[in-house]
Amino acid sequence: MMKTWQVGPYHDEWVVIVHADTRGQARAKGATVDGGDLIDMRAIRVPDLDGKLVTNETLRDAGFPETWEGEKLDAYGYIIDCGCDVCKASLREAQERRGKQELIQVIHDGLVS
């Protein structure tokens, strides 16, 4: 099982979630997100997410805030760049949830109209 890492540049506040065996591999994945330099990347372990789908719920359970700069927590934005099997499965689940929510909204709007 690959380890879960929170990766981002030292001089900025953005982070992504990646899965990698080592800190160096995690930093390298992070560097590809913005074309940055590996030296500028920090990688912090998030063991609470090891082996789990990365969802809003699991992110909150791991200590991520429910909102950031007025925006609701969105797991999709954290994992879109990883590409591992866990993140692909997490993205599929997020898309299914969004589809269900949109369907519920359409039904609700139809009933209210």
Express each pLDDT in 1-15 by its tens digit.
Answer: 899 999 998 888 888
User: 43 vs 16, 39, 71, 100, CA distance in Å?
Assistant: 10, 11, 23, 34
Distance separating alpha carbons of residues 70 and 72, to the nearest angstrom: 7
DSSP letter assigned to residue 40 = G
Query: Could you give the 3-state DSSP secondary structure of residue 62?
Result: coil
Residue 112 above 70 pLDDT? Answer: no
Query: Could you give the 3-state DSSP secondary structure of residue 100?
Result: helix
Model pLDDT, residue 39: 87
Residue 26 near residue 43, CB atoms below 8 Å: yes
Q: Which pTM does this prediction carry? A: 0.79
Model pLDDT, residue 48: 95
Residue 79 above 60 pLDDT? Answer: yes
